[in-house]
Structure 1
Amino acid sequence: MRRILVVGGGYAGFYTAWKLEKRLRTDEASVTLVDPRPYMTYQPFLPEVAAGSIEARHVAVSLRRHLPHTHLIVGSVVHIDHAHRTATVRPVGGAEHELPYDTIVITAGAVTRTFPIPGIADEAIGFKYVEEAVATRDRLLTAFEQAATMPPGPQRRKLLTVTVVGGGFSGVEAFGELLSLATALLKHYPELSPDELGFHLVEVRDRLLPEVGDEPARWVVRHLEKRGARVHLGTSLVSAENDHIVLSDGTAYDNHLLVWTAGNEANPVVARHTDLPVNRAGRFPVRADLRIGTPYAAIPDAWAAGDDAAVPDLASAIPGGSLTVPNAQNAVRQGKRLAKNIVADARGRKVKPYKHHSLGTVATLGLGKGIFQYRRIVIKGLLAWLMHRGYHVLAVPTWERKVRVALVWFSALFYGRDIVSLLSVQHPRAEFVVASLGARQRRGAGEPIAACTAAPDETAAAAPRERPA
């Protein structure tokens, strides 16, 4: 049995393992996948999760459910020694151990890129994982509840102020959906007015959405500003300390919710702890057939795809000088090609290069609003938004997830989006701790305690334990 190790369960890793299960015989090879999370997040839906248009769990594809023949290890690969075909694995809650393999597939994905800006580590929230999208939504909804109980003034304006840093697809989509949610919420809060909303999009470049043309990008800016937003182009974040935003153009204001989407970088844990070659950007140099190496020589039994791989773009008009864009569209298709090539290589057949022509770019800008571009064709507004939903409900893996997402959208046509905040989920023991402290104080004051019907052993087991600060 050939042992195949897949490092990372994102787009490329999930699709590689998924297709390997379908193509390999059960007695031909075993597949092990290592990832810190037991699910794959379909990231294009995160803006709609933040806006309450999609249930959070529906964008998380369970690895155990959909990879039944793959051995899943929830943890991290902290070192790769390819010369000896071993990887050091650190399971969640377990001890590090060496895991031998015959073939390795590195699809560890990217991590959020940050900068040493004062206040970022304390105030900002990322937008790469479903937990972050849910927290972003709950904070905005809770801010509306708090603001509705306050008199008009600076503190109320602060609660209704949102800043998104990063003008790529993730940032623009998150910003557009949050703006759409906040505008829709106003009808439920007659105490608040549209003038009190403060939405700021900050981008260091002089334009948004580098993947689309100049005119569509300018249209997006005009569209967002028409809806009451402020777009700061050619501007960087200087400070975010104490909920106070300072921008490089001199703008300064108090802020409540800060979302950071200013790009990604290659996974540093994998890139810095391996004997496999890595380029200056921390990505593995990959041949067109997705094997790690140079165009003249490949490293045996080592493959890579997705955000960690510098894959040559054979569809580019620039021969030999362009790499595939590290996005979901490429990662999914690279994972599928990777699985086919691994099987072909194991069976002594010829592997094929990865070549994919872009299907265009599409982005949501809020409920009923979007933009699509394919070469010179540009579509705006409702039709582009429908195209966004149609494409992604087809692209999200497994029919189970497609159906769940479609049903939520269908119900929203009649009942609208869910506007319930569950911010307390982030602190599930808070109410229980308060109740326990109150019981202790009543005992100390000599107040009678209601009779407990539980057995003595059960009562002792349920008693709260002292924890160090």
Structure 2
Amino acid sequence: MRQILIVGGGYAGFYAAWRLERKLRSGEAEVTLVDPRPYMTYQPFLPEVMAGSVEARHAAVSLRRHLRRTRVVAATVTAVDHAHRSVTVQLPDGETRALGYDLIVVTAGAVTRKIPVPGIAEQAIGLKHVEEAVAIRDRLLTAFDRAAALAPGPRRQRLLTVAVVGGGFSGVEAFGELLSLATALLKRYPELRRDELRFHLVEAFGRILPEVTDRPGRWVVRSLERRGARVHLNTQVTSAVDGHVVLSTGDEFDAELIVWTAGNGVNPVIGRHTDLPVDERGLVVVRPDLRVGTESDPVPDAWAAGDDAAVPDLASPVAGAHTVANAQHAYRQGKLLARNVIATLRGREPKAYVHHSLGTVATLGIGRGIFQYRRLVITGLPAWLMHRGYHVLAIPTWERKVRVFAVWATAALFGRDILSLAAVQRPRDAFVTGGEPAALPAEPG
């Protein structure tokens, strides 16, 4: 049997493996998927995980539970040597080994784009994985507990200040959900006042939500500002040392929580450690049918899709355009890739990827959202309901759909859960201290 190796278990990788399992004939090929995490993260739910509207485990889809005929290897791919049909992987214990294959599918995804701003690496939290969403939520809840025990002043103000850097979909949704959670928390914290909350959204360009047109984008800014937030456009963070945020406009403030969502960066394995062709951005060069290479110079037995691939956008009126890095494209590309791989194994021609956008929809907090399809724009509660309806249908497997819907129904009856489990990040503290008070860290600054 031919050996198919899938690098990465994100949207494109998971759906490619899932479809291959269903469509491959017995004995036709064996599929191996390599990813350091044992699950596929459904990233559109991460803002709701932060806000306590979705249980963290329900935003993750177990690879081993749902890929029953795929060999799942918990490891990180560190190099791809396609000339010799081999990849190097690093196991969790640090051991490296080589895995051979006949056909490779590269769906390693992207990483959070990092900019060398002083203090960001030490203070900020990204938002691409479930662990990060949970940490953000626990950080905010713990800050409220600490602030409620303090008198009004600089220390309390710092605890109630949040900065989100990046005004794309991830940043705006995270900002809206965090603002919604913080506002709801005030009902449980009578010691705190609404005017003590300081929420800053920082965007380097002159508008947020580049996926929508200018007018809806301006509406989102006005909506956030009416809720007490401050949106900084054409602004960059120049320093965040010890949580003291300095902006390029000269504004400064202390923030307990800094969330970094300033776009995607190239996966270093794909960008620098492979002999597959990559473009100037470090993305794998692919044809419209998702085979690696160009029309005149294809690379045999190599396929790629998702955020690490420069997939031509045949639905775009702009010549030479590529599909944007989002879930809507990644999971459709993953399914088509599987169909095309099977087609070539059986001597048929693969099909080109063409997808016309179904519109964009974003949540801005419970009961608030925005949807745009061409010139049609819907805001408020209807858009929020559309967001929830679309994503509960889009998340893979009925098991996950039922679990997510059950949490939403429970929250509608009893409200969202505001319990912080920050202590799970240090599970041995209670055992080590034996009940003795732990030494508190020095206050920053």
Q: TM-score range by the shorter chain?
A: over 0.9
Q: Which residue of 1 aligns with 2:165?
A: 165
Letter of the 1:402 partner, please give it.
K
Shift of 1:25: 1.5
Letter of the 1:405 partner, please give it.
V
Cα distance between partner residues in 2 of 1:95 and 1:89: 8
Letter of the 2:31 partner, please give it.
V
Q: Which residue of 2 aligns with 1:138?
A: 138
Cα distance between partner residues in 2 of 1:132 and 1:96: 27
| Identical residues among aligned pairs (%) | 68
Q: Which residue of 1 aligns with 2:9?
A: 9
Q: Which residue of 2 aligns with 1:32?
A: 32
Cα distance between partner residues in 1 of 2:215 and 2:92: 48
Q: Which residue of 2 aligns with 1:414?
A: 413
> Structure 1 pair 188/437, CA: closer, same or farther in 2 (3 Å)?
closer
Q: Which residue of 1 aligns with 2:306?
A: 306
Letter of the 1:213 partner, please give it.
T
Q: Which residue of 2 aligns with 1:457?
A: none
1:386-441 deviations in whole A, cap 9, x for unaligned? 00000000000010000000000011111000000000010000010111989xxx
Give yes or no for contact 2:270–2:308 (8 Å, CA) kept in 1. Answer: no
1:334 aligns with 2:333: yes
Q: Which residue of 1 aligns with 2:399?
A: 400
Q: Which residue of 2 aligns with 1:461?
A: none
Cα distance between partner residues in 2 of 1:170 and 1:436: 40
Cα distance between partner residues in 1 of 2:93 and 2:307: 27
Give yes or no for contact 1:54–1:405 (8 Å, CA) kept in 2. Answer: yes
Q: Specify the SS of the correspondent of 1:322.
A: coil
Q: Specify the SS of the correspondent of 1:366.
A: coil
Q: Which residue of 1 aligns with 2:441?
A: none
Q: Which residue of 2 aligns with 1:324?
A: 323
Structure 1, unmatched stretches of 5+, are 439-469
Q: Which residue of 2 aligns with 1:459?
A: none
Cα distance between partner residues in 2 of 1:21 and 1:338: 13
Cα distance between partner residues in 1 of 2:91 and 2:152: 51
Q: Which residue of 1 aligns with 2:359?
A: 360
1:58-79 deviations in whole A, cap 9, x for unaligned? 0010000000100000111111
Q: Which residue of 1 aligns with 2:217?
A: 217
Give yes or no for contact 2:114–2:265 (8 Å, CA) kept in 1. Answer: no
Cα distance between partner residues in 1 of 2:254 and 2:194: 17
| TM-score normalised per structure 2 | 0.97
Cα distance between partner residues in 1 of 2:253 and 2:421: 27
Q: Which residue of 2 aligns with 1:260?
A: 260
Cα distance between partner residues in 2 of 1:35 and 1:26: 25
Give yes or no for contact 1:266–1:281 (8 Å, CA) kept in 2. Answer: yes
Q: Which residue of 2 aligns with 1:125?
A: 125
Shift of 1:192: 0.4
Give yes or no for contact 2:270–2:283 (8 Å, CA) kept in 1. Answer: no
Q: Which residue of 1 aligns with 2:155?
A: 155
Letter of the 1:404 partner, please give it.
R
Cα distance between partner residues in 2 of 1:374 and 1:269: 36
Q: Specify the SS of the correspondent of 1:259.
A: strand
Q: Which residue of 2 aligns with 1:344?
A: 343
1:139-198 deviations in whole A, cap 9, x for unaligned? 100000011111111111110000000000000000000000000000101110001000
Count matched residues.
437
1:235-274 deviations in whole A, cap 9, x for unaligned? 0001000111100011001111000000111211232111
Q: Which residue of 2 aligns with 1:280?
A: 280
Shift of 1:26: 2.6
Letter of the 2:235 partner, please give it.
T
Q: Cα RMSD between the aligned structures?
A: 1.0
Cα distance between partner residues in 2 of 1:156 and 1:432: 30
Cα distance between partner residues in 2 of 1:241 and 1:336: 44
Give yes or no for contact 1:77–1:270 (8 Å, CA) kept in 2. Answer: no
Cα distance between partner residues in 1 of 2:98 and 2:380: 53
Q: Which residue of 2 aligns with 1:291?
A: 291
1:85-138 deviations in whole A, cap 9, x for unaligned? 111111211521111100000000000111111101110010110000000000
Q: Specify the SS of the correspondent of 1:262.
A: coil
Cα distance between partner residues in 1 of 2:89 and 2:9: 15
Letter of the 1:290 partner, please give it.
L
Shift of 1:2: 0.4
Cα distance between partner residues in 2 of 1:437 and 1:419: 26
Q: Which residue of 2 aligns with 1:449?
A: none
Q: Specify the SS of the correspondent of 2:364.
A: strand
Letter of the 1:87 partner, please give it.
V
Q: Which residue of 1 aligns with 2:100?
A: 100
1:44-67 deviations in whole A, cap 9, x for unaligned? 000000000010000010000000
Q: Specify the SS of the correspondent of 1:125.
A: coil
1:386 aligns with 2:385: yes
4+ runs deviating over 4 angstroms = none
Look at both structures and tell me which one has the larger radius of gyration over its CA atoms.
1
Cα distance between partner residues in 1 of 2:64 and 2:393: 22
Letter of the 1:371 partner, please give it.
I
Q: Which residue of 2 aligns with 1:50?
A: 50
Give yes or no for contact 1:172–1:365 (8 Å, CA) kept in 2. Answer: yes
Cα distance between partner residues in 2 of 1:75 and 1:395: 27
Give yes or no for contact 1:78–1:273 (8 Å, CA) kept in 2. Answer: yes
Alignment of 1:245-256 (within 5 A): 245-256=245-256
Shift of 1:80: 1.1
Q: Which residue of 1 aligns with 2:86?
A: 86
Q: Specify the SS of the correspondent of 1:332.
A: helix
Cα distance between partner residues in 2 of 1:291 and 1:316: 20
Letter of the 2:51 partner, please give it.
A
Cα distance between partner residues in 2 of 1:82 and 1:162: 45
Between stretches 267-276 and 231-240, larger displacement belongs to 267-276
| TM-score normalised per structure 1 | 0.92
1:227 aligns with 2:256: no
Cα distance between partner residues in 1 of 2:45 and 2:91: 28
Q: Which residue of 1 aligns with 2:440?
A: none
